[in-house]
Structure 1
Amino acid sequence: MEQRQLGRSGLRVSHLGLGTMTWSRDTDEHEAAEQLRDFVDAGGTLLDTAASYADGASEELIGSLLGTIVPRNEVVLCTKGGVRRTANGGVVDASRGALLDSLDGSLARLRTDHVDLWLVQTPDPRTPLAETVSAMRYAVTSGRARYVGLSNHPGWQTARAATLLGDEITLAAVEVEYSLLQRGIEREVLPAAADLGVGVLAWSPLGRGVLTGKYRRTIPADSRAASPHLAGFVEPYLGADSLAVVEAVATAAQGLGRSPLEVALAWLQARTEVSCAIVGARTAAQLRGSLAADGLELPPEILHALDEVSAPEVGYPERR
């Protein structure tokens, strides 16, 4: 599997990453172990999780697998903080204290003394960005994290955080949703990341599963869209606006003799500004479908057609 530089940092990551949002909830320890083994055997390195996934249970499961299924040093371990658990659910909190407490909790659950990449999961409008960045800086200088970055932040916050970190500590990555069904980051986040040398990690490259084509006719009973806790996550992409894109992907896949999933991933992997596309699978069989896209290059005519049918609306001030 191709290894790509994460922006202008010294960190290299596999161009496919393994997401673990469903681990310990919809994916049990046996399926997780098989996924991790298959992923590493295929040359994958980036393992992505968060303190908020399954209220920390995803990290606990990963911690139990590292060193038994695969050696710790064979993965680039990425986790996220900034969503604090409370009795009433998750609360966004990117204050210095909350972030560092979250990181210490993550390290304990992951059974490691450091993570390779630590991200602030979402913007916190109540905490000054300078305070958030101070926690990111301390995570690196204290040895808890090798690299730091942001997740789901807009372009201006990405640029501001890179400035606040200064020259000695690199803003290594921004993890954002990016797929044929969600290209909003092309307006500001991608240009900012390119100018600053920040690597881009794309989550949900399959449009929350919709680009696999499984929802073209109905909602399968065992799918995320039928799940009580994930139905709301998928629902925004089940409308008429997405249909033309899904059909275009399916048509291209049929013509190439490949699956819609492979075509959707190949489109994203052709975008050199993206260091890694993070795929999340409930089962090992689903993950193997994503791994099968490795090495697929779409003809220029198909890339152009998919670009056109999925083009985001752009107006002032990005375009005049």
Structure 2
Amino acid sequence: MRTTAVAGLDLTACTMGSAPAPTPVARAVDLLDEGWEAGVRALDAADGTGGAESAAGRWLEERQPEGIVVLSGVGAVVGRGRGSDLSPVRLEADLAAGSRRLGRIDLAWLRGADAETTLEDTLQPLAGAIESGRLRGWGAGDADVWALEALLGEADRLGLPAPAFVRIRLNLLERDRLRDLASLAAGAGVAILAGAPLGAGRLTGRHVAAEESAADAMRFGAPRDVEIDPALDALVALRDLARDLDTSLEGLALAWLLATEAVASTVVTPRAKADWDAVHQALAQPIDAETVERVESLLP
């Protein structure tokens, strides 16, 4: 599996996330074992600062895996016009809690943006953690090109460590942010991590089959409270292409991300053992540039 250097660490092309509740912790630990066996050497413990026992924390404690890169989100989404709490007090508390629960955090990513805390106040605790060796690098979560540019500019002005990566929602149905970010990120040496690679379930064969059935039923007058997925035609075409390539829609969606040069790593969070099948397919059946063009030509 290819790797990309991020803050001096080798980040594998896939990063595994630990399945959240209601998946039982013991089952989620088994799913992380599956990722390790597949060669994944990065773990995004998005819940690493929470209060309940996490699968990521138990897996790290029990397995003591060598060479694993540990990522965790810091800051809290609070809403009410503020967005997230990225204050120094909050970040220091989250870094301490994450290190206590996970053993360490190598790469921390900010959960959103804070409309009340200055960028300088947000960057200072991250810089302090890097200087003290508690952290290797940090990144921005769900940042657009303007947010990343602001973070890079402020870090440069203050002489503090710049973001090493940006973690965004990215999949075949949500590609606009990649087009905006790719050039800036490449020029600044910022790696791009793709979250939500299956579009919250829309890029799955199960979803497409259900939407097809619902559309057929509605043509015969069956009522439905929600609209049919507006991308259904494209999803059907993608599924048919996947079948031609002897893979699944999920496998093709992941393979597209793995073949996208601008993407350093894709965060996959299987909730059942069978969900790893798509990851195995994508790793075993990489797609070439011609297939990438065919895939993208089917999309609106």
Equivalent pairs: percent with the same residue?
26
TM-score (norm 1): 0.80
Seen in structure 2, the aligned counterparts of structure 1 residues 63 and 297 have a Cα distance that, compared at 3 Å, is: closer
Q: Which amino acid aligns with 1:178?
A: L
Name the structure 2 match of 1:225. none
List alignment gaps of at least 5 residues for structure 2: 212-225
> In 1, distance between residues paired with 2:67 and 2:255?
25
Q: Distance in 2 between matches of 1:284 and 1:240?
A: 27
The corresponding residue for 1:161 is 151
Q: Which amino acid aligns with 1:141?
A: E
Indicate whether 1:258 and 2:258 are aligned: no
Measure how far apart 1:84 and its partner are.
5.9
How far does the alpha carbon of each residue in 1:253-292 deviate from its partner, in whole angstroms, 9 at most, with x for none?
1111111111111111111111101111111221243233
Shift of 1:122: 0.7
Output the CA distance in 2 between the equivalents of 1:56 and 1:209.
27
The 2-side partners of 1:301 and 1:109 are apart by 45
Q: Distance in 1 between matches of 2:145 and 2:78?
A: 27
Q: Where do 4+ consecutive residues of structure 1 move more than 4 Å?
A: none
Q: Is the 8 A contact 1:121 1:151 kept in 2?
A: yes
Deviation at 1:138, TM superposition (A): 1.6
Q: Which amino acid aligns with 1:45?
A: R
1:58-89 C-alpha deviation (Å, 9 max, x unpaired): 6x332222142x32433110001111689x9x
Equivalent-residue separation in structure 1 for 2:171 and 2:152 (angstroms): 25
Q: Which residue of 1 aligns with 2:52?
A: 57
Alpha carbons of structure 1 residues 300 and 83: separation in structure 2 relative to 1, 3 Å: same
**Displacement of 1:147:** 1.1
Distance 1:11 1:102 in 2: 22
TM-score (norm 2): 0.85
1:198-252 Cα distance to aligned partner (Å, 9 max, x none): 0011001111122122112328xxxxxxxxxxxxxxxx9x853321331122011
Match for residue 23 of structure 2 among 23, 27, 33: 27
Q: Say which of 267, 280, 302 aligns to 2:291.
A: 302
- 1:129 CA displacement: 1.6
Per-residue CA deviations over 1:117-159 (Å, capped at 9, x if unaligned) read 0111111112112211112212211222111111101212212
Seen in structure 2, the aligned counterparts of structure 1 residues 57 and 189 have a Cα distance that, compared at 3 Å, is: farther
1:3 equivalent in structure 2: 3
| From 7, 11, 16, the counterpart of 1:13 | 11
TM alignment of 1:125-204, pairs within 5 A: 125-166=115-156, 169-204=161-196
Amino acid at match of 2:60: L
Partner of 1:207: 199
Question: Is the CA contact (8 Å cut-off) linking 2:195 and 2:268 kept in structure 1?
Answer: yes
Q: Which runs of 5+ in 1 are unaligned?
A: 220-235, 312-320
Give the length in aligned residue pairs: 283
1: CA distance, partners of 2:39 / 2:146: 34
Counterpart check, 1:77 vs 2:70: yes
